[in-house]
Amino acid sequence: MKVATRPMLARWMSHGLPAWVQATPYTLVFLLFFIIPLGLIVAVSFWDATEYELIPAFTPKNYINTFEGCGNLAEPCVTFTTYLSTLKFCFLAWLSTLLIGFTVAYFLAFHVRSTAMQTALFVLCTIPFWTSNVIRMISWVPLLGRNGLVNDALVGSGLASQPQEWLLFSSFSVVLAFVHLFTIFMVVPIFNSMMRIDRSLIEAALDAGASSWQILWNVIVPLSRTGIIIGSIFVITIVMGDFVTIGVMGGQQIASVGKIIQVQTSYLQFPLAAANAVILLAVVLMIIWALTKLVDIRKEL
């Protein structure tokens, strides 16, 4: 047995470990932290529950209760209205972070020549992540509140006759917080894609007489698609499941799918919360599937 083992070890040392051996640790981590928890959530979504206990039984009533009243097209149900509200916030946050993230990444990649300065500015973009998300959200309260700095400036300058209530605990403040928190997730992948663009292509476009806008739209944007899609996936998946930002910046007055799941969990309605989580996961996966159809991420990477 020892004689047979030594040649095998020698082959492994010379040619490397077999692929299945190298993939085993990653597979175990994937199973332990993704597949098994997801399977448990799906299983619990079909359980029954009373005020005192969970009953492991297969029943579709949690999904039926979730879509209760959705058959009436004249009056949208709570679930449909909540998903529309969540998708609205998701779209506004995605569009805002895309515009800001693309602009920042473009500036860092094409207008900052020094590598040291690029690194310094990139680190500067990550400074907000050195503090808690909740602290960063709360920091907007003294700025946007009724007696905050922004309202004082508006009233003091005569631009407004009274404090503006829509600045805080509103849809505006929720989107603003999303942009503040998640723009970096758009900057990083787009900047990475832009740094991989062959600069000779831009020089060739300039020699051909292309304007700056033509180069941006016909060269840089198409070659940055991979970064845009990856950044979009990051932002969309985070915003769709977020409940802390909407709760804090919306004054606990704005509904979202993540907020509904959080409330149901706090009331120990775990099967109903699990059913909503499965539905939310299905919606997010459909969005990601649609985005990945725009570009083959695995091929581009």
Q: Which residues contact 235 (CB under 8 A, 6 or more apart)?
A: 93, 94, 97, 98, 182, 185, 186
Angle, helix 78-110 to helix 171-195, in steps of 10 degrees:
40
The tokens for 44 are 């619990």
Give the pLDDT confidence score for residue 49 in this predicted structure: 83
Please give the residue that has the higher pLDDT: either 58 or 295.
58
Per the CB < 8 A criterion, the answer to whether 272 and 66 are in contact is yes
Per the CB < 8 A criterion, the answer to whether 168 and 140 are in contact is yes
- Max Cα-Cα span within the chain: 91
**pLDDT tens-digit readout, 170-187:** 899 999 999 999 999 999
Per the CB < 8 A criterion, the answer to whether 137 and 182 are in contact is no
CA 102/CA 90 separation, integer angstroms: 18
DSSP conformation class of 164? -
pLDDT at 14 over 70: no
Output phi, psi for 110, to 5 deg.
-115, -15
Q: Report the alpha-carbon angle 281-283-134, nearest 5.
A: 60
Structural Rg of the chain based on CA atoms: 25
Classify 229 as helix, strand or coil: helix
Q: Which residues contact 221 (CB under 8 A, 6 or more apart)?
A: 228
Per the CB < 8 A criterion, the answer to whether 241 and 280 are in contact is yes
Burial 92-109 (b: 16+ CB within 10 A, else e): bbbebbbeebbebbbebb
Length in residues, the chain = 301
Residue 163 CB neighbours (<10 A): 16
Task: Give the C-alpha distances (Å, rounded to integers) separating 220 from 81, 102, 184, 205.
Answer: 38, 11, 20, 11
pLDDT at 211 over 90: no
Query: To the nearest whole number, what is the mean pLDDT of the chain?
Result: 86
The CATH H-level (homologous superfamily) assignment of domain 77-300 is: MetI-like (1.10.3720.10)
Give pTM, 2 decimals.
0.86
Give the pLDDT confidence score for residue 1 in this predicted structure: 46
pLDDT at 297 over 80: no
Q: Which residues contact 300 (CB under 8 A, 6 or more apart)?
A: 225, 226
Residue with tokens 């631009």: 159
82: nearest Cα among 95, 68, 97, 100: 68
Q: Report the alpha-carbon angle 280-283-284, nearest 5.
A: 85
The tokens for 298 are 């695995």
pLDDT at 86 over 90: yes
pLDDT at 278 over 80: yes
Q: Where are the domains of the chain?
A: 77-300
